[in-house]
Amino acid sequence: PAHVAPLSREKFSLAIALGVLFVGALWCGLCRELSGEWSVNEQYNFGWFVPFFGLYLFWLRWQDRLPAEIPNSKTQIPNSAVVAAAIAALLLLLPVRLFEIANPEWRLLAWIHAFAVVTLTLLLLWSAGGRVWLHHFAFPAAFIFIAVPWPTALEIPLIQGLMRLVAH
């Protein structure tokens, strides 16, 4: 019995470590996909710094994180719901990646891609530390959305309206 607890703790750590590596690979893929827009579009050049700022924000949050939540049947969502949400996000990534390869300038796909990656990140945080960690790390995980190019139909009227307001 004394050997069971450390072994299960090692398996948990291994599962979390593999999850972190997988989510890290998804983040690298997302940043690689967004990097084309960051390089070409002058308005989104700041995007190159956003992943680093997001990591810095995550590191700051990590230093003052609360202890991981002890699973409770009242506060915890069922594992089947977490797995279903993760599978849905992963299944969404496959067609998104296929369409992104064919249409790299379609900005709505970048939003869907970012949403899926952030969702998987938040699910990993939820499974590692519960609702407490989900709330604590939500902002650093969602910070990437400021660097995702807006759909052109929204961006042009907004920017032109703001330019007119500033000029006035």
CA distance 52 to 37: 17
> What mean pLDDT is predicted for residues 132-150?
95
Distance between CA atoms of 101 and 66, rounded to whole angstroms?
A: 40
pLDDT tens for residues 45-61? 999 999 999 999 999 99
**71 pLDDT above the threshold of 60:** yes
110-121 as b/e, with b when 16 or more CB fall inside 10 Å? bbbbbbbbbbbb
Model confidence at 129, pLDDT cuts 50, 70, 90, reads confident
